A and B are shown apart, each in its own frame.
Chain A
Amino acid sequence: CGEYQSLLKSDDAGAKYTYAEDLYNQAQEENSKKKYRKALRLFEQIVPQYRGKPQGEKLSFLFANTYYQLGDYYLSSYEFERFQQSYPNSDKVEEAAYKKARSFYELSPRYDLDQTDTNKAIAELQAYLNTYPEGEHAEEANDMAAELRIKLEKKAYEIAKQYHLTGEARAGNYQAAITSFTNFLSNNPGSPFREDAHYYRFDSAYQLAVNSFRDLMEERLVEALEYSQEYKKYYPEGEYSEAVEASAEDIKSRLQNF
């Protein structure tokens, strides 16, 4: 380790380069985070010095990839981006594009937190797929993009569903649920949450109607009935068919009073 320590302190960029590359190769073979970390410390020191020099291209890529291997996706996405911009003609540029997108994918948080990184990941994955439709990682990129889109759909769905859940306690939340589910349904064709969204939209409208003042009730019952028909149209034998049917009957009998 003495050699490594003295290298860290020395000014010999060339020696650092060789040693760091060595460490990087070993780390790759042994899949050793420790070695990646050691290589990284050297890379950090020499990357600025080699910027613009012939070795810079390779070094930049190794540097970015080290962050990537260490799971520091925030920095790897940034370094891959820089690599892409600095060396657009490099033959590593496809891998860099993929790994940049992948970095954002890894940064994407659970569905109920801010989805800025998810949106970035989807955009980057799409950019990768557009540039390299036959690329090495096209299939994975497709899968990741699909997964992230479902995450965004889940977010929108859960927010709408919370309005439904809190409808009883907070005035106006059933109305908010109806609007949110309607937006959800028109924005997300083919989402796995569609059936639930249809059902909860109907149920929100139904709950809103039956808890209304009399002069608002008829209009709202009719609206709810329309949603029940829509559910039945798309899901004639759906998970919630029975519940929808029962509520629809109730609506019809209530409508007799008007």
Chain B
Amino acid sequence: CSLIFSISSQAQGLPLADGKKYIIGDIKVTGTVSFNEQTVIAYTGLKKGEEIYIPGDKISSVINKLWDIDQFSDINFYITQVRDGNIADLEIEIQEVPKLNKVQVTGLKKREKEEIIKENKLRTGAKVSENLITTTRNYIENKYRKEGYFNASAKISTSEVTDTTANTNLVNMLVDIDQGDRVKIADINFSGNEKFSNWKLKRAMKNTKQKNFFRFWKRSKFVRADYQEDKENLIDKYKESGYRDARIVTDSLVEVDDKTIALNLKVEEGDQYYIGNIDYLGNSVYTDAQLQRALGINKGDVYNGVLLDERIADETKPDGEDLSNLYKNNGYLFSTINLVETNVYNDTIDFEIRIVEGKEAYFNNISVTGNDKTKDHVIYRELRTKPGQKYSQEDVVNTVRELGQLGFFDAEQLEPKFVDPDPQAGTLDLEYSVVEAGASQIELQGGYGGGGFIGTLGLSFNNFSLSGIFDKEAYKPVPMGDGQTLSLRAQASTFYQTYSLSFQEPWLGGKKPVSLQTSFSYTRQFLFDYINRQADRSRSFDILGINVGLAKRLTVPDPYMTVSHSVGFQRYNLNNYNTGLFTFGDGHSNNFTYTFGLTRDNTYVNPIFPMGGSKFKLTAKFTPPYSLWNGVDYANLAEQREYQLEDDNGNLIDQQGNRVTPENAVGDQRLIDQKKFNWLEFYKVKFSGEWFTQIYDKLVLRTNAEYGFLGAYNSDRGVPPFERFFLGGDGLGAFSLDGRETVQLRGYPNQSVVPLDRPAGVNDDGATIYNKYSLELRYPITLKPSASIYALTFLEAGASYDNFRDFNPFQVNRSAGAGLRIFMPAFGLLGIDFGYGFDPIGGQPGANGWETHFIIGQQF
């Protein structure tokens, strides 16, 4: 029953003061209306025969509803007649807002006119309300004033379109703009200033400048808002030097002529003040002395109001080292610090710093919102703020930074929100709101190079979910959200194909940050005939590689250390493939290695441009020492029958092809090498160290030293031709078949720095030992996240050797030069270096001279 009542009361509404109940009779719509009458009535929701109070809230809500659609400039309700005592005929009189027919702008160039029309949305059909006219006028006038047209004015008039055929309710608009002349500041005059020169004061005004012959490329126009701001800057300038009472007594603007104005400012400087006693009240966590040290402003210093405020709480730096952050980084979120002047005598001011420490704040609930792809566990493991932990502003700032570095979220939109801070209980909740960003890349390339068409297809998913690959629902378009990386790459040309796949899980097992990295690659290359520009598909060289590694961040001795282990296997398979690279054209070679790595990296803050810290890296790569147990006498392979040179009929021959007796038999180098390199046997140790030192401001010195050594367990078996070091040039990983390592040494051509005592022309083999030192001075031009650019100059020296007997760390090839690096997230690192090599290479008579190096996507 009550339900029925409520419905009926809803229909007729509630009466206002002396509202009377009527039954609706006819409804009529009058006024200037382009709408269908029925549409308007249906929109009001009023129905014939409905009971209604007049006046009453139903009518009011109908009027509001009509207002809300912004189509009418006037709405009136009338009862036209009352029949049979309570049947009311209604009339709705509405006045539609006129629509814009044509707009005409005068006083501007065509392009500017169009801009005005576009920016104010003065399109045909727009509703011409008072509001539109006023905002348009203000917009235009402000626009030109900002550009220095101080006298700009806009007049807007409308005229009705008279159309005899229909009631159109259209208006034409005329916007008449008088830009006036651009007003420049001819003069800024100061009076009353004794302590500071006019020049100094003019300099303090950052955006209001006097016209000057030397400043023809900079603006000297007058913008009121800037001027107001600059007056404050002027006073701040005084305050910074202890003139606490400085003020601008009067300022006036004088029109010199149509185009120029002058500004007259009268200042009152007052006295220079000094800091007196600073007392701390209410501090129990920190002693006065500790606070005084943190404040860093002492008795007798010139009073600097701006600095004093900054030392107490710097609003512009959330991670600054000021007093309030001292408290906030240690749990006292609810602390407040007030600076009070207690006594002013002569030119000295005494202060009290009043501290209300409040209760220590603890995080209660930490939540993350907005992660519609990345799963909770991937995010929560990165959070430094934890439930039950003491509040620390530093942790919040660091968490935001680290979440941004994951690359899964838009770093610009990451924001921590404090929810229900409760000073009584000393708790607060924290919510990180994240916005997912695209974490996948696709690379599709086609090009002509190296004698044929090269096509590349690369896919990389940086927030992959391996567990989702069997879940049909998860394909949107690929399973995402476990923070794993999967990349696939295929490259093919007429003479080679490369396929690679790699997968990385940063938290294997979810318990500890142990990362698992696996990769698989396969390369097949056909012998390319450069004369006929054709690949010979019957002669090929295949490399198959598999690598599995684990890396773990250590906590002891410090959290910057990472230990890694990896196991790799490569198989090289040659099929009638004779090049200078190998002595045997048919056969295979296997490379099974274990690599141990230890790195320590405490560089900070920006990984692209570290300002300090150091980076050390030690890696050791081993193969099993097969020759220890396989019983092969590698020294005397040539004396064994099966490795001796023979002709097609199995008869022993010498190099010239003459038949020889077994006593005079010679070894077949191809067979010997095949045996020697069947399973590669070597060990390789590399060390590199980098130090970053801040010299002055943002000028950073990078000092780098590195060494590498490749050795054999069994000297008879020897060091394999694989895995060697090639020194010189840009150091970019060239397309390498043999596991070679290219080492950067600018000022010399790529891979040109060979051991000194090598006969000229033997450059194919890399060296087994190298060392390299470099000093690099870097200065950033910009470090914005969108693009980081820095310039550098360098001194480098390095050399490679064939064995330890020749090793001389001071007999090196030296170079010097300068360059530029640009890092953009979309492109990676791009750079150019010009280097001058002071020493000769490869039998040249003099210094190597200038070399230009292009650096693309190399590590920074």
Q: Known contacts being A52-B42, A168-B512, is A114 close to B388, with CB within 8 Å?
A: no
A–B Cβ pairs within 8 angstroms, 27 of them:
A52-B42, A52-B43, A53-B39, A112-B376, A113-B371, A113-B374, A114-B372, A116-B369, A158-B377, A159-B380, A162-B376, A162-B377, A162-B510, A163-B380, A163-B387, A165-B510, A165-B511, A166-B381, A166-B510, A166-B511, A168-B511, A169-B513, A170-B381, A175-B389, A176-B386, A179-B388, A180-B387
B373 to A, closest residue via Cβ = A113
**How many A residues are at the interface, by size bracket?**
20 to 34
Cβ-based interface call for A109 (8 A) = yes
List the B side residues contacting A155 at CB < 8 Å. 376
Q: What residues on B are CB-neighbors of A180 within 8 Å?
A: 365, 387-388
Q: Which of A113, A173, A176 contacts B376 (CB 8 A)?
A: A113
Among B381, B386, B512, chain A packs the most CB atoms within 10 A around the CB of: B386
CA distance A54 to B368 in the complex (A): 46
Q: How large is the interface on B (under 10, 10 to 19, 20 to 34, 35 or more residues)?
A: 20 to 34
Bound: A89/B513 CA distance, A: 58
Contact indicator B370/A114 (Cβ below 8 Å):
yes
The answer to whether A159 touches B513 (Cβ under 8 A) is: no
Q: Mark B343-379, 1 if CB is under 8 A from A, else 0.
A: 0000000000000000000001100111111111100
Which residues on A sit within 8 Å (CB–CB) of B386?
163, 172-173, 175-176, 179
Q: Give A116 to B372 CA distance when docked, in angstroms.
A: 9
- Contact B376 A183, beta carbon cutoff 8 Å: no
> At the interface, yes or no: B481 with Cβ under 8 Å from chain A?
yes
Chain A's nearest CB lies how many Å from the CB of B380?
Answer: 6
Q: Which residues of A contact B389 (CB under 8 A)?
A: 172, 175-176
- Chain B interface residues (CB < 8 Å from chain A): 10-11, 38-39, 42-43, 364-365, 368-377, 380-381, 386-389, 481, 510-513
Q: Tell me the minimal C-beta distance from B24 to chain A in angstroms.
A: 16
With A and B bound together, what is the CA distance between A77 and B54 in angstroms? 37
For the complex, what is the distance from the CA of A7 to the CA of B669, rounded to whole Å? 83
Given contacts A54-B42, A56-B42, A169-B511, contact A175 B372 (CB under 8 A): no
Sample of 5 further A-B pairs with CB below 8 A, known A89-B11, A114-B372: A158-B376, A162-B380, A168-B512, A176-B386, A180-B388
From 152 to 207 in chain A, residues with beta carbon under 8 angstroms from any chain B beta carbon are 155, 158-159, 162-163, 165-166, 168-170, 172-173, 175-176, 178-180, 183
Residues of A within 8 A of B377 (CB): 112, 158, 162
- A interface residues, Cβ below 8 angstroms from B: 52-54, 56, 89, 109, 112-114, 116, 155, 158-159, 162-163, 165-166, 168-170, 172-173, 175-176, 178-180, 183
Measured CA separation A155–B380 after assembly (Å): 12
In the complex, which residues of chain B have a beta carbon less than 8 angstroms from the beta carbon of A175?
386, 388-389
- Of B43, B364, B377, B388, most buried by chain A (CB within 10 Å of CB) is B388
Residues of chain A within 8 A of B42, CB atoms compared: 52-54, 56
A54: chain B residues within 8 A (beta carbon) = 42
**Can you list the 8 inter-chain pairs with the closest CB atoms, starting with the nearest?**
A179-B388, A176-B386, A179-B387, A169-B512, A112-B376, A52-B43, A112-B375, A176-B387
Chain B residues within 8 Å of A169, by CB: 511-513
> Known contacts being A158-B376, A169-B511, is A113 close to B39, with CB within 8 Å?
no
Across-interface contacts of B370 in A (CB, < 8 A)? 114, 116
Complex contacts, B381 vs chain A, CB 8 Å: 162, 166, 170
Q: Given A52-B39, A163-B386, A176-B387 in contact, is the A113-B380 Cβ separation under 8 Å?
A: no
Give Cα A109–Cα B476 distance, bound, in whole angstroms.
Answer: 13
Q: Are A183 and B510 in contact (CB under 8 A)?
A: no
Measured between beta carbons, the chain B residues less than 8 angstroms from A176 are 386-389
Question: Known contacts A165-B511, A166-B511, A168-B511; is A114 also within 8 Å of B369 by CB?
Answer: yes
A3 CA / B42 CA spacing, docked (Å): 32
Complex: chain A residue closest to B10, CB-CB: A89
Known: A113-B373, A114-B372, A178-B388. A183 touches B39 (CB 8 A): no
Which residues of chain B have C-beta atoms less than 8 A from A112's C-beta? 375-377, 481
A175 to B481, CA, bound (A): 27
Residue of chain A at shortest CB distance from B474: A110
Give the distance in Å from the alpha carbon of A168 to the alpha carbon of B369 in the complex.
Answer: 26
B510 near A113 with CB under 8 A, answer no
Q: Are B388 and A53 interface neighbours, CB within 8 A?
A: no
Known: A52-B42, A166-B381. A159 touches B376 (CB 8 A): yes
